[in-house]
A and B are shown apart, each in its own frame.
Chain A
C-alpha cells in the first residue's frame, strides 16, 4: 500500500467559530436572513403550487405551515445571538429564482415550479443545514437538526409527484434544470465569503447540494448519464 504524508488538520476542522465577534454577527445577519427568506418563500411557493394542483392543496398547505414554523425557529436563532437579519439582502438574493418561479406559476408549469421549490431550494437547504449543524451555536444547532428532518419530507413530496409524471414532463424538467441550476451556483458563490466566516466551506456546500439534488433526480427516474449531465450545469457557468 502506498503511503501519504500525514495531513495537516486544518484549524477549521472541528473548531467552532467565536459566535460573539462582530465579524461573525455581520456574516450571520445575511446568512440567517437568507434562511428566513428561504423558509418564507418556500411557504408561499407551496401555497401557490396548491392553486395549480387543487387536489393536493391540503397536503401542500401542510408543508407550507412547516416552513413557517422553521422560519420562526431561525428568527429565534438570530435573536439568541443578538443579530438583526438583513432581509433586504435576502430578498434580492432570492429575486432571480423567485422571478423564474413566478413566471412558471403564471404559465401553469407545475413541473418547473416543483423543480425550483421542492428539489432545488430544498436540496440547497438540506445541504446548507447539514454543513451548518457541526459549526452552529448550541441553540441554533438544536433547531436546525429538527428542521433538516422536515426538509427531507418536502424534497420527497416533489420527488414523488415528478416521478409519477416523469414521461410527460421530462423535457420541461431538463429545460428548468438548465435555466435554474446556474442560479443556485451563483447564489452559492454570492454567500461563500459569509459562509466561510461561519466555518462553512463553499466546496462542501456545492458538493452536498449536488448529492441531494442527484439523489432526487435518481428517485424521479433519470438515468445516471442524464443526471451527470444535468448536475454539471451547476459546476460551470
Chain B
C-alpha cells in the first residue's frame, strides 16, 4: 500500500470539494473550523503498471489550505497529523504532496518524531523530490529542442538552485545533459557558492541578471505574488519550466515566444480510478499527477520501502536514474508542450525567418 498526502489549493476550493463529497457542514464552516479539522482518508484506489503489476493506494487530505501558511502551529499540526494517520494505516510509503513536504522541511519537523502515542517512522515517507527533479530534467531535455533551443549551447537558469530539487536539477543538467551554461539563482549567497564549488561550474547571478540571458528557465522556488517579469527583456524563444508550487507562472509571462510548461507533472499510461487529482487542476486528472505522488507509487511497485527522498541536498544522480528508469518502465511520462504551444512556436519561427 502506498499513500499520498495532499491538500486543496485554496480555502474556497476546499469548501467546494467538501460540498461535492456531501460534507455540507464542512462546506459551510469558516476558516477557524477548518483549522481544527482532522485529516481525512478520502479514497482508496488501485493502480496497474504497464508491467501488469497492481498496487493499492490511499489519498489522505490533510485539511491544510495555503491560507493557513501564516499560522505556524496549524500548518505544522496538519502535516504531522496527516503523517500519523498514514503510518497508523500501515502504509509502506507515503508521498508528502504540495505544501506538505515544504512545511516539513522549512519548519524542521524532523525534530518532532513523537505525535501523541505514535513515533513517526521516517522510512515510511518520501518527499518525492528525486522523481520530481528527474521529471523536470526530462522536460528540459525533450522540450527545448522542440523550440529550436540547442541545449549544448544554451544558457539554462535554475531559480531556486540551492533547494533540494534545484540542486539535483543543477547536478543532472551539468553532468548528464551537458548544457552550455548553468545560471544559478537563489537567495542565500553562501549556499550558492557551495553549490557552484560542488558542481565545478555555473554562474551565480541575480534573478534580474539571469532572466534576459536564459534560453531555458527552471523555476523551483515559490514565486512571490509581487514578482513581475519584464516579458520584453526575455529571450525568444524561451522555455520556462514551472516547477514551483503553486504553479502560477503561466499567467505572468506566457505568450509571444515564451513557452511555459508545468514542471514536475507526469502522465500515466492509463486512467487511474481516483477523483482527487481533479482538485489539483490537472488538464487530464484521471492520468496526470504530481511527480512526487508518482514516486510513492514507483517505490511501491519496486518494493523499495525506504524514505527514498529525504532531507535537503541528498538526491544523487544514481537515484535519479533509478527512479527515472522505474518511471518509464511502469508507464509514466513527463508532460510536454502541447500541440497548441508547439504550433504557436512554429508560427513564431516562421515570423522570425520572414523578418
- The 8 A CB mask of A195-237 against B (1 = contact, 0 = none) is 0000001111011101100110000000011011101110111
Residues of chain B within 8 A (CB-CB) of A237 are 25
In the complex, the answer to whether A232 meets B23 with C-beta atoms within 8 Å is yes
A9: CB under 8 A from chain B?
A: yes
Q: Does A13 contact B (CB under 8 A)?
A: yes
- Is A207 within 8 A of B105, CB to CB? no
A57 smallest CB distance to B (angstroms): 29
- In the complex, B220 has a CB within 8 A of chain A: yes
The CA of A215 and the CA of B88, in the complex, are separated in Å by 10
Is B40 positioned at the interface, with any CB of A under 8 Å from its CB? yes
Q: Assuming A3-B160, A224-B40, is B88 touching A235 (CB within 8 A)?
A: no
A3 touches B72 (CB 8 A): no
List 18 interface pairs A-B (beta carbons < 8 Å), by A numbering.
Answer: A2-B222, A2-B244, A2-B245, A3-B222, A4-B69, A4-B222, A7-B107, A130-B117, A202-B36, A207-B38, A211-B85, A228-B26, A228-B42, A235-B26, A235-B33, A235-B36, A236-B28, A237-B25
Cα(A123)–Cα(B28), bound, Å: 25
Smallest Cβ distance from B87 to chain A, in angstroms? 12
Q: Are A210 and B165 in contact (CB under 8 A)?
A: no
Interface segment, one of B73-81, B228-236, B320-328: B73-81
Write out the residue numbers on chain B whose beta carbons fall within 8 Å of the beta carbon of A95: none
A104 to chain B, nearest CB (A): 24
Q: How many angstroms between the C-alpha atoms of A227 and B60 in the bound complex?
A: 14
Kindly provide the distance from the CB of B128 to the nearest chain A CB, expressed in whole angstroms.
11
Q: Sort chain B's interface into a size bin.
A: 35 or more
Q: Does B116 contact A (CB under 8 A)?
A: yes
A193 vs chain B, min Cβ distance (A): 15
Residues of chain A with a CB closer than 8 A to B74's CB: 203
* Residues on the B chain within 8 Å of A233, using CB: 25
Chain B residues within an 8 Å CB radius of A210: 36-38
B38→A214 contact, CB < 8 A: yes
Which residues of chain B (30-63) have a CB below 8 Å from chain A? 32-43
B102 lies within 8 A of A4 (CB): yes
Which of A1, A10, A13, A152 is within 8 Å of B164, CB to CB? A1
Type the 1/0 row for A21-46, where 1 means its CB is closer than 8 Å to any CB of B: 00000000000000000000000000
Are B165 and A1 in contact, CB atoms less than 8 angstroms apart? yes
Q: Give the Cβ gap from A27 to chain B, nearest Cβ, in Å.
A: 20
Whole-angstrom distance between the Cβ of B23 and the nearest chain A Cβ: 5
- What are the residues of chain B within 8 A of A231 when measuring CB–CB? 38
Is A3 a contact of B116 with CB atoms below 8 Å? no
Q: Which residue of B lies closest to A224 (CB)?
A: B41
Asked whether, in the complex, the Cβ of A232 is within 8 Å of the Cβ of B26, the reply is yes
Q: Which residue of A lies closest to B26 (CB)?
A: A232
Residues of B within 8 A of A (CB): 21-26, 28-29, 32-43, 69, 72-74, 77, 81, 84-85, 88, 99, 101-103, 105-107, 116-117, 129, 160, 163-166, 187, 220-222, 244-245
Say yes or no: A13 contacts B222, CB within 8 Å: no
Is A107 in the interface zone, CB < 8 Å from B? no
**A8 on the B face (CB < 8 A):** yes
Nearest residue (CB) in A for B78 is A207
Q: Using a Cβ–Cβ cut-off of 8 Å, how many residues does chain A contribute to the interface with B?
A: 35
Inter-chain contacts of B99 with A (CB < 8 A): 2
Q: Which residues from B are CB-within-8-Å of A8?
A: 72
Beta-carbon contact of B36 and A229 below 8 Å: no
Cα A176 to Cα B73 with chains together (Å): 32
Distance in Å: Cβ of A99 to nearest Cβ of chain B? 24
CA A2 – CA B243 in complex, angstroms?
9
By beta carbon, the residue of chain B nearest A12 is B73
| CB-based nearest B residue for A214 | B38
Q: Is the CB of B73 within 8 A of A201?
A: yes
* Whole-angstrom CA separation of A191 from B57 in the bound complex: 40
CB of A228 within 8 A of CB of B40, answer: yes
**Closest Cβ neighbor of B41 among chain A residues:** A224
Q: Beyond A206-B36, A211-B81, A224-B40, is A1–B25 a contact (Cβ under 8 Å)? A: no
Contact A3:B221 (CB < 8 A) given known A203-B36, A228-B40, A236-B33: yes
**Chain A neighbourhood of B106, CB < 8 A:** 3-4, 6-7
**Of B28, B85, B105, B117, which one neighbours A1 at CB under 8 angstroms?**
B105
Contact B116 A1 (CB under 8 A): no
Contact A207 B101 (CB under 8 A): no
Q: Among the listed B38, B72, B129, B244, which residue makes an inter-chain contact with A211, where contact means beta carbons less than 8 Å apart? A: B38
Per a CB cutoff under 8 Å, which of B21, B32, B102 touches A225? B21
Which B residue sits closest to A205, measured CB to CB? B36
* Pairwise interchain contact B166-A1, C-beta atoms closer than 8 A: yes
Min CB–CB distance A197 → chain B (angstroms): 17
Chain B hits for A9, CB < 8 A: 72
Task: Say yes or no: A232 contacts B116, CB within 8 Å.
Answer: no
* B34: min CB distance to chain A, Å: 8
Give the residues in chain B near A204, CB-CB below 8 Å: 73, 77
Docked Cα-Cα span, A72 to B21, in Å, equals 46
Instruction: Flag if B103 contacts A4 (CB, 8 Å).
Output: yes
The answer for the CA separation of A227 and B23 in the assembled complex, in Å, is 10
> With A10-B72, A207-B38, A224-B41 in contact, is A1–B29 under 8 Å at CB?
no
Chain A positions within 8 Å of B117 at CB level:
130, 148, 152
Chain B residues near A13 (CB, 8 Å)? 73
Cβ-defined contact, B26 with A1, below 8 A? no
A208 with B116, Cβ < 8 A, contacts A1-B105, A3-B163, A4-B106 known: yes
Most chain B beta-carbon neighbours within 10 Å: one of A207, A214, A224, A235: A235
Q: A6-B106, A215-B88 are in contact. Are A1 and B220 (CB under 8 A)?
A: yes
